[in-house]
């Protein structure tokens, strides 16, 4: 095989699959809580994700949007999140958040790449970036869990430094 054939084969190799969680990974959940009224915060104090409209109030985590765009160029990237079972509006609000912050048409790296599931371990991939081990992340066997906000992955810059060389 010639050097030219090697580079053609490498160019055709499939990208590694990467999943990215939303809440407290791409999305700053606390920013939505901070925008709730005191009455809403008290009424829903144990279930803040059940407040209608809360997901539309949230800002991106620092560096998240830029990191998503960079990673989407190198990986086959999907957003894998869980929506609260008792807040049906959250399912729609998560899609609207993605469209608002990552783009809404075919040119967006997030176009039709949002997966909402309570069983994240049913998806297959090389990496999952999530701030928790719940909803099946603790059963993620086929790839590496990048525990966002912990240890070596405290910021999006930390995540990029780890993942980009492994694309």
pTM confidence score: 0.88
Q: What residues are annotated to the active site? A: 21, 23
The verdict on residue 3 lying in a domain is no
Distance, CA of 74 to CA of 67 (rounded, Å): 11
The verdict on residue 39 lying in a domain is no
23: left (phi over 0), alpha (psi -120 to 50) or beta: beta
Query: Which residues face 147 on adjacent strands?
Result: 130
Distance, CA of 141 to CA of 119 (rounded, Å): 13
Which structure tokens are listed for 20?
Answer: 């990215």
The verdict on residue 36 lying in a domain is no
Distance, CA of 24 to CA of 35 (rounded, Å): 16
The verdict on residue 81 lying in a domain is yes
Q: What is the CATH number of the domain that holds 146?
A: 3.40.50.1000
The total of structural domains in the chain comes to 1
Which structure tokens are listed for 134?
Answer: 């719940």
The verdict on residue 48 lying in a domain is no
Quote the domain boundaries for residue 103: 10-28+60-166
pLDDT in tens, the chain (167 residues): 555 555 555 567 899 999 999 999 999 999 999 999 999 999 999 899 899 889 989 999 999 999 999 999 999 999 999 998 989 899 999 999 999 999 999 999 999 999 999 989 878 999 989 876 677 677 777 788 888 999 899 999 999 999 999 99
């Amino acid at each position: 095989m010639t050097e030219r054939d090697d580079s053609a084969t490498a160019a055709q190799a499939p990208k590694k699959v990467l999943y990215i969680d939303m809440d407290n990974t791409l999305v700053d959940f606390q920013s939505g809580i901070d925008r709730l009224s005191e009455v809403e915060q008290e009424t829903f104090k144990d279930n803040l994700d059940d407040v209608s409209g809360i997901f539309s109030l949230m800002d991106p985590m620092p560096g998240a949007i830029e990191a998503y765009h960079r990673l989407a160029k190198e990986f086959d990237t999907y957003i894998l999140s869980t929506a609260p079972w008792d807040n049906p509006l959250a399912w729609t609000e998560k899609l609207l958040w993605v469209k608002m912050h990552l783009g809404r048409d075919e040119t967006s790296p997030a176009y039709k790449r949002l997966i909402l599931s309570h069983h994240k371990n049913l998806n297959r991939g090389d990496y999952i970036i999530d701030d928790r081990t719940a909803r099946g992340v603790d059963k993620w066997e086929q790839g590496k869990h990048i525990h966002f906000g912990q240890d070596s992955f405290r910021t999006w810059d930390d995540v990029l430094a780890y993942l980009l060389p492994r694309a």
